[in-house]
Structure formats: structure tokens, C-alpha cells
A and B are shown apart, each in its own frame.
Chain A
Amino acid sequence: MIEFLVRRAFISAVTLVLISLIVFTGVRMIPGDPARVMAGTDADAAGLEEIREKYGLHDPIPLQYLRWVGLALRGDLGESIRTRQSVAWTVAIKVPITVELACLALLIALSLAIPAGVIAAVRRNTAWDVLASAVSLCGVSIPNFWLGIMLILLVSVRLGWLPASGFVPLFEDPFANVTRMIMPALVLGTALAAVLMRQTRNAMIEVLSADYIRTARSKGLAGFAVVVRHALRNGLIPVVTVLGLQMGALMGGAVVTESIFVLPGFGRLIVEAVFTRDYPVVQGVVLITASSYVLINLLVDVSYTVLNPRIRVNGGVDGA
């Protein structure tokens, strides 16, 4: 197991280095003087010189890269062209909003997907199964920004039940916060729920045909106990992996959802940064999302290894 974990961690480290190289190259591909790109169009000569000095823009490219990575590792991602605040800080204050949104979306997705997936698997090839599959197919096909707009139209404009947009910090007024978060979370959770439901269904079908389930049944255990206690626990393992891989889609979805519902999170930050050509912020957000994606999936794989005895003994299912 240790060997597997070390190898897995090593691969993640290589991936992180490559990510930093891709982002570094990407920023260099922006046409124009790199110092001007980092400092903004209205920077004066002194400001430009300061940037050149900081990032060693007179040095050879590999050295520039190392210096940039070194600064990034210490949390220095430069400063926003627009606000002149540090990128790390700009991102840090936005993260909790997106994390809350993502957690709510995850909660909604799981509480819809797992029961639906289990029912579809247990009642395989019945109307329930067909219904669950149809709903899931609609869930992956519906553009989430349109779903958001339609929800605003129905719930806020027509019925007037919930506010369409705006944000209230969680600790200021939890109730007002949740009333503004529930619709975006539902929109963000829909596609995820659809994917997870399919995964749960397939995994459960496989698990339910396993020998130990037959044994449990023949021992006279009630159907419900078998499904929940014996099958679900094993059936959820692949679902957790897919969940890790879906984190990227969740972060991408947050961009759109936050734009529609005007939530001042991470996702809106990147869109605003793109429009104002605030390259350091775009760079920082892209770097942080990709890195956290790698780290989340490393964590998922590690926890999976610890939880699943088969992998623990055999030294890993080779999927890499």
C-alpha cells in the first residue's frame, strides 16, 4: 500500500509541475510585453521596471519560470491589475462563497442521485428505472445556465418566492444566505446528480449480483437491509471516484451559476478578470483550480485505498 501511495503522490507532483508549466507558457503566449501584461496598460515605467525586476524578465526563460514557481509556492501570485490587491487575497476572500455553493450543490446532488440510483438498480428494467434514466439524461442535456434563467423566471419573477440574485454572507444572516443560495445550488447540482445517479445505478447493479449479496439474501435478511447495509457500502466506492473527477465540472459550473445569480464567488471573479484583462487574476484562478483538482483527486484516491481492502493488499488498481 505504501508503495502505491508513494507512486500516486509522485504522479500528482509531476502533474502539478506540468500544470505550472502550462499556465506559465499560457501567460507568455499573451501577445505583448510580459511586464505590461502583468502590470496592466496604465502602469508607468517605474511599475514596469518593478515587475521586470520581481519576475527577472531579463533572465533566460527557464530561470524566469523557476522564479515564478518559487513565488507562487510562497503564495505570491502577483497583484490584481484592477484592484492592486494581491491575487492570493483576492482569491481567498472569494473561495468560501464558492465552497459553500459547491457543498450545497453536492448535498442536493447526492440526496437525489443515491436514492434514485439505488431504486433504479433494485427495480431494474421497470418503469422506475426508465423514469430515473430519462430524468438523468435530461439532467446532463439541459444547459445549466438556461435552467438557472428558467428557475429565476418561475420562482422569482412569477411566484416571487425567492430573491433572484444578490448575496448575504452566511454569518451575517444564515436564513437570507440560504434563500439566495438554494437556487444556484440546485442549478449547479443538477448535472452532477444526473452523472452520479447513473454511476450509482451501474455500480449497484454490479454489486447486487455479487455472491455475498446472494448469501446475505439466502440467510433470510430482508431486502432493504441487504441493499443498504451490504450492497450500498460497496456500491458507493466507484461513486466516490467519479465524484472526485466531477469536481472540475463543478468548478466550471460555478462560473456560470455565479454569473447568473450574481454571487461574488470564485467563478464570477474569473469572468470579471477576463473582461478587464486582469491577467494575474486569471492566471491565479486557473492555477489554483487545476492544482486543487489534482489534490482533491489525490485525496480521493488515498482515502479509497485506505477504505478498500482489495487495493490495500494488491497495491492498487492500475488506472493511471
Chain B
Amino acid sequence: MAPDAASPTFPLALAEAPAARSGVLHRAWRVGRRRPAALAGAVVVLLFVVMALGAPWIAITDPVRTDWSQIRKAPTWARPFGTDDLGRDGFSRVVWGARISMQAGVFSILLAIGIGVPVGLVAGYYRGALDQAIMRLTDAWLAFPFLILAIGLVTILGPSLTNATLAIGLGATPTYIRLTRGLVLSTNQEDYVLGARALGAGDLRVMARHILPNIVSAILVQATVAVPTAIIAEAVLSFLGLGVQPPAPSWGTMLNAAQQFLESAPWMAYWPGLAIFGLALSFNLAGDGLRDVLDPRDY
């Protein structure tokens, strides 16, 4: 499609994307100092990442080991989050739950980006009948409420972490198609794109080298607000019994179990919920900050 895709760099400076990369870190630091809440959000997200990756070292107790002598014990110093209805350690399960939540949140959005961005790119770049067809399909896809669509897909695929991730990802895909298409439409008319085309760059090269780098930050910002939504969606599906299956320690399944023991063991309900809330809130705070770092014009 692009005969010149492998050609050497263009002699003209306008062919390069105008974003100055060296300034990003510096700007991040400035924004971080001006907006401590965004910085705190980013730090907490990182803590959750560390928790997810380091689960085997942080939570030494086996999260699925049941202990009939320790059923629904209130929090103590030794077991700060108490134990659940099967005598499993609450702290350990919350820590391991971070893994499942992160996995579902990040992979589902990666899937949505992986499908949505190329499709939106093609729709916005070529316009015409193909674009119309893609957009109508996107409209139809968006008409299914996110959660109802996910429930429908899980019904077809069967409940599991992988299928819940798949369902959430497919549910989030149309947002990326629309976003990318809109961004391409506005970028398409920029001088540097017109210039690159005038110099004979093929479609693929224009899309990959000139359009994509300039829309990537907007997609990234959208991703940071989509991940918390995906994390909550996984928790909801697992809570309803349509996601991660017991005994795996998912925050959603933990809350499902906790619901039956609100009177006798309320601590079972505190921590998993706080973890979801904290992670989602931090992601949203960090996302707000990221928007400032990546797109100073908008601020």
C-alpha cells in the first residue's frame, strides 16, 4: 500500500511530528507540583501496581487456604483485615485481588485500544461508505448499555476472568473507534499531514508516522479514565457471579460473600470495596493530571 514506507527520513522538518518529547517529563514535574492531588493519585496507582506484582511477597498467607478454626474473625494485629466466612485471610485476599483487578482493567482497555484505534484510524482517514458503515455499527454497539452488553457476552462465552476481560474490552471498543475517528478528522487537515502527503508519503506512512503520534496523547488520557471504569465493571461482574469464579480472590466476589454477613462480619465488606474505590479514584486523579501534562493547550 505504501511503496515509500521504508524510504529514509524526509528532508523537510515539517514532516516530523511537532510534539516536543523532551519537555514531557519536565512538564509532568511542574503539573505534579501544582496539582498535588494528581501526583498523589499517580503514586497510589503505582502502589497498587507494586501490590499486584509483589502479591506473593506482600501477602505471605495463602489467599485461598481455608481455616475452619478462623471463620469470620474480627481484625487483629496479626490479621489486620480479619478473616472471611471460610477462614481465609482478608488482607491476603485484598492484595491478591489487586492482581485480578489490574489484569482485567488494563487488558480489557488494551484490547479496546487494539481494535478501536486501527478501526477508527481507517474510518477517519478514508471516509466514504466504509466510514459510514463503521460508524453506524459503532452507534448500534454503543446502544447496548456497557454492563448489559458485558452480561450478554458473558452469557454466550461463560463466566471467567478471561471472558469478563474480553466482554469489558469489547464493550469499551466503540468509544475508541469514535474518539480516534474524530481525532483523525481534525488532524487530517493539518499542514504537516498535507505536507507529508504532498511529498508523496503513502497512506500507511501518513497514518503511522504523522497522524498516530499526534493523537496518541488524547487516546492515553481516555485510557486512564477508562481503566477505572473497567476495574469497576470487572468487580460488578464478579460480584454478580459472572466474572472471576470462587475461590479466586477478586474484590467483586469478596463483596458478594460479604453481603451475607453484614451483621456479623462487616469487615469483610470494608476492605475490598475501599480497594476498588481507592484504585478507581487514584486512576481518575492521575488521569486528570495526565491530561494537563500531555495537552497543555486544553488547560
Chain A contact residues, CB within 8 Å of chain B = 11, 14-16, 18-19, 21-22, 26, 29-30, 137-138, 140-143, 145-146, 149-150, 152-153, 157, 247-249, 251-253, 255-256, 259-260, 270-271, 274-275, 277, 279, 282, 285-286, 289-291, 293-294, 320
Contacts and interface: CB of A to CB of B under 8 A. Distances in A.
B141 A256 contact: no
A142 to B, nearest CB: 5
> How would you classify the secondary structure of chain A's contact residues: helix, strand, loop or mixed?
helix
Interface string B135-163: 11101111111111101111110000000
12 contacts: A22-B144, A145-B236, A149-B255, A149-B262, A248-B144, A270-B148, A274-B242, A286-B149, A289-B144, A289-B148, A290-B145, A293-B144
Nearest to A297: B143
Contacts of B49: none
A143 B145 contact: no
A87 to B, nearest CB: 15
A299 to B, nearest CB: 14
Given A149-B259, A157-B262, A251-B147, 8 more contacts: A30-B155, A141-B283, A143-B236, A145-B236, A146-B272, A252-B147, A259-B240, A293-B143
A19 B140 contact: yes
A275 B154 CA distance: 11
Interface residues of B, number: 44
> How would you classify the secondary structure of chain B's contact residues: helix, strand, loop or mixed?
helix
A294 B156 CA distance: 23
B206 interface: no
B281 A248 contact: no
B232 A143 contact: yes
B100 interface: no
A305 B262 CA distance: 49
Contacts of A14: 136, 139
Q: Which 5 A-B pairs have the closest CB atoms?
A: A252-B147, A146-B273, A18-B140, A248-B145, A141-B281
Given A137-B284, A140-B284, A290-B144, A274 B263 contact: no
A99 to B, nearest CB: 15
Contacts of B262: 149, 152-153, 157
B148 A137 contact: no
A88 to B, nearest CB: 18
